[in-house]
Amino acid sequence: MLLTIPVLLGVSLAVFSMLHLLPVDPVDLLIMDSTTGTAPTSGVTDEMKENLRRELGLDRPIPVQFVSYIWNALQGDLGMSFRNNQPVTELLLDQLPYTIRLTLAGLATSIGLGLVLGILGGLRPNSWIDNLAMLVATFGVSMPGFWLGLMMIYFFALQLKILPALGTGSPQALILPAIALGFQGSAIVARLTRSSIVEIMRGDYITTARAKGLPESVVVLRHALRNALIPVITVVGLEFGSLMSGAVITETVFGRPGIGRLAVRGILEKDFPLVQGFVLFIAVIYVVTNLLVDLCYAGLDRRITFD
């Protein structure tokens, strides 16, 4: 668990140096008009640029900038955004609820759809249900989320007019973004659940449970599924992190607010502190969910303990 600290340090160092390796003065990028990619509509003097540079702390040596960044980050201060004139922590926290809502909805889609497809397939291996379920799963894995998103907007919003194209404003507005985000994950969950179930159903204790005269539903849901869930939970835990970063694309396609959309703008506008803050934040999410997954194992399987 102590490994998390060097991991996080490494991530922030990598991001920090990448942005500083750009060949161009960030102050020039800062005053560029981000909508048209051209110069601002007024004369900007060198003196103004120097003032900006000093104000943003960009005149200090890079190692000094890094150390002060880490020191502040430990206290929850990720610096000021270049572009928004607001602290990065505040920006991220402002947008976080939208992303969490979307991520949870996406996760629910992944798990719900994945488990149903996986159990159906796993109970009757190589039947037509199994083949169909795995076809859907393969389809899901192969499809990029932004494409699925645009296609769903085309069919459900434009042609059928039953769901809104934009991802905010009403409860049903969350449906399309959640599917676009969670579908790929559901395919992974489905394949994993299926192979797990297939293996477990051959186990002796399943035969025993059946021999005791338990109804098939109890056998599957209480005995088989519980054990089949262990690998699934690992994936779902990792999935949470990747869904959160996957929100980057989904939020942009559906015009939803969130930290992903914030990060996209940060990248396009070379907003150093914002991008650093976002990447660090996602890294923390990954590390924390991994930790939680480890703890979940113990809850599900008493044979796993932590020393």
User: What is the nearest approach in angstroms of other proteins to the Cβ of residue 118?
Assistant: 32
Which amino acid appears at position 294 of this protein?
D
80 forms bridges with which residues in the sheet?
87
3-class state of residue 195 by DSSP: helix
Do residues 136 and 187 make contact, with C-beta atoms less than 8 angstroms apart? Answer: yes
196: number of Cβ within 10 Å: 21
DSSP state of 223: I
3-class state of residue 38 by DSSP: strand
Kindly state whether residue 40 participates in binding other proteins, applying the rule CB under 8 A: yes
87 forms bridges with which residues in the sheet?
80
Kindly state whether residue 171 participates in binding other proteins, applying the rule CB under 8 A: no
Question: What is the CA angle 75-287-119, rounded to 5?
Answer: 145
Number of H helices, E strands in the chain: 13, 0
Tell me, residue by residue from 231 to 270, as one string, x for binding to other proteins by CB under 8 A and - for no binding. Answer: ---------------------xxxxxx---x--xx----x
Measured from the CB atom, is 264 or 285 closer to other proteins? 264
Nearest to residue 258, comparing CAs of 181, 154, 165?
181
Taking CB under 8 A as the criterion, the residue among 157, 206, 288, 293 binding other proteins is: 157
Kindly state whether residue 164 participates in binding other proteins, applying the rule CB under 8 A: yes
Do residues 186 and 110 make contact, with C-beta atoms less than 8 angstroms apart? Answer: yes
Taking CB under 8 A as the criterion, the residue among 58, 136, 150, 293 binding other proteins is: 150
33 forms bridges with which residues in the sheet?
38
38 forms bridges with which residues in the sheet?
33
Taking CB under 8 A as the criterion, the residue among 5, 13, 22, 300 binding other proteins is: 22
Measured from the CB atom, is 45 or 217 closer to other proteins? 45
Which amino acid appears at position 16 of this protein?
F
Owner of token pair 């991520």:
103
User: What is the nearest approach in angstroms of other proteins to the Cβ of residue 183?
Assistant: 18
Which amino acid appears at position 173 of this protein?
A
User: What is the nearest approach in angstroms of other proteins to the Cβ of residue 114?
Assistant: 27
Taking CB under 8 A as the criterion, the residue among 1, 41, 204, 213 binding other proteins is: 41
Measured from the CB atom, is 122 or 260 closer to other proteins? 260
User: What is the nearest approach in angstroms of other proteins to the Cβ of residue 135?
Assistant: 28
Residue count, binding to other proteins (CB under 8 A): 52
Taking CB under 8 A as the criterion, the residue among 7, 8, 70, 166 binding other proteins is: 166
Measured from the CB atom, is 126 or 170 closer to other proteins? 170
Measured from the CB atom, is 240 or 254 closer to other proteins? 254
Do residues 159 and 106 make contact, with C-beta atoms less than 8 angstroms apart? Answer: no
- Distance CA(32)–CA(11), nearest Å, equals 28
Pick the piece of the chain touching other proteins (CB under 8 A) from 62-70, 81-89, 236-244, 280-288.
Answer: 81-89
The residues of the shown chain that bind other proteins, judged by CB under 8 A, are 22-25, 28-29, 31-45, 48, 51-52, 55, 83-86, 95, 98, 150, 153-154, 157-158, 161, 164-166, 168-169, 252-257, 261, 264-265, 270
